[in-house]
Structure 1
Amino acid sequence: MENGILLPLFYLGPIEYFSKIKSNSSQVYLEKFEHYPKQTFRNRASIQSPNGKLDLTIPIKKGAHVHTKMKDVRISYDADWQRLHWRSLQTSYRSSSYFEYYEDDFAPFFHSKIEFLFDFNLSLLELCLSLLKIDPTLQHTETYMKSPEGVNDYRDVISPKKLNTFVAKPYFQVFEDQHGFLPNLSIVDLLFSQGPQSKQYL
């Protein structure tokens, strides 16, 4: 590895995640061999709903424990979480300025089954980067390195369990009049609210 940044692969990651990619878009390494950590943005996205902040969580097949590599984590479809997530996105953002503009891009991800979490997240990341018109060089790690040289390691920096120090500039949110501005939500909150101006915001 040389230069660039090292990131985990998130499910519709927060704005801070995409801000780091935009700032270091020459080379982005995506961690594929880490042991899957639970209760992180790897299978969770935070959006603003009519009732405030809402976490959308992808269920993982039983057997994905602390020693399972990220690339081997399988998504569980025992419950119809895709329908729940898509309905939540529709309910939360139908009245936003750009939901209908991007709806057809995101809908297929909630109507087809992808086996591995890594593949699902990667496809969504590539879509979001395309919509943001950010074109980094993406590479997967080939092994796990505890302290990689030459890159900025952000694998454990962005987490729902850690106090967030990311300073987010306010932008208009659908339910801001009810709940105030909620910073650093999923990138979809920014896209559905700001549309083509999202890249400039980042």
Structure 2
Amino acid sequence: MKILVHPTYFPSIATFAALVQNEVVWEAHDNFQKQTYRNRCYICTDKGKHMLNIPIKHVGGNQGRQKYKEVELENSYDWKKIHWRTLETAYRTSPFFEFYEDDIRPLYEGNDDSLFEFNLKTIEAVADCIGVEFSMEKTQKYELQPKNYYDARFLVEAKKEPSPKIEPYTQVFDDRHGFIPNLSVLDLLFNEGPNTLSYLQNQSLDFLDV
């Protein structure tokens, strides 16, 4: 089945499971909306669930709504350095952080301008780590009710996200905070390593309601 999805910043485990188990088409013609996973993801630190938020350049006034694919990163603020340092601190004791470090760290080096394209890079990086390929097919226009694929664009909503049944796995700080479900796929990757793909392939997609 082909599903229509927004590229997000190191997607949640539920979203990545949907990507692995289906053919993907990326929504490329929607308007940017605040408070979504387009520019945020969640990891677990020693203090618990923690949000990594990418700063963007906002437009307004006479320009009105901004297209997602036109959103630019706010690089005057060294967010890449901060995000990578936070990931290092959170996962340096995880079983597989050092194994994948050289695959993920380059994303936090160099310059990127487009949020849309940067998010696709984060998804590709994880896909390379677990040995899968995603279609780079993108929409040619915006459709309110897509006819040719299942509309999974709701997965981008941070406040309206479904409550998927996430199978527990060992997390770095679960002795302090218990199991925290549906974090960024990075949490799964650093803790489960080569088992990540099998885990995602066997994850229930009941939340898609298809």
Same fold? TM cut 0.5: yes
Note the C-alpha offset of 1:158.
Answer: 4.3
Q: Which runs of 5+ in 2 are unaligned?
A: 201-210
| Alignment match, 1:50 | 46
Change (3 A) 1:114 1:163: closer
Matched ranges for 1:52-201 at <5 A: 52-63=48-59, 67-201=65-199
**Secondary structure of residue in 2 paired with 1:114:** coil
TM-align CA RMSD: 1.4
Q: Percent identity?
A: 38
Cα gap change, 1:66 to 1:12, in 2 (>3 Å)? farther
What amino acid sits opposite 2:46 in the alignment?
P
Give how far 1:137 is off. 2.5
* TM norm structure 2: 0.90
Report the counterpart of residue 35 of structure 1 in structure 2. 31
Matched pairs, number: 198
**More moved, 161-170 vs 71-80:** 161-170
Structure 1: any 5+ residue segments left out of the alignment?
none
What is the CA–CA distance in structure 1 between the aligned matches of 2:64 and 2:46, rounded to whole Å? 35
Alpha-carbon distance in 1 for matches of 2:102, 2:52: 20
Distance between the aligned counterparts of 1:128 and 1:66, measured in 2?
34
Counterparts of 1:56 and 1:142 in 2: how far apart (Å)? 30
1:7, 1:155 within 8 Å by CA — same for their partners in 2? yes
Aligned partners of 2:161, 2:141: CA distance in 1, in Å?
29
Cα deviation, residue 132, structure 1: 1.8
1:136/1:107 CA distance change after superposition, 3 Å = closer
State the SS of the aligned residue for 1:9.
coil
The 1:44–1:66 alpha-carbon spacing in structure 2 relative to 1, beyond 3 Å, is farther
Compare the two structures and name the one with the higher helix fraction: 2
Displaced runs of 4+ in structure 1, greater than 6 A?
none
Checking the alignment, whether the CA contact within 8 Å between 1:35 and 1:66 is kept in structure 2 is no
In the superposition, the TM-score normalised over structure 1's length comes to 0.94
Measured against aligned partners, the alpha-carbon deviations of 1:15-54 in whole angstroms (never above 9, x if no partner) come to 0111101221xx3100111000111111001000010000
Change (3 A) 1:62 1:150: closer
Q: Match of 1:138, SS?
A: coil
Secondary structure at 2:33's aligned position in 1?
coil
With over 3 angstroms needed to count, the CA separation of the structure-2 counterparts of 1:151 and 1:193, relative to structure 1, is: same
CA–CA separation in structure 2 for the residues paired with 1:162 and 1:103: 32
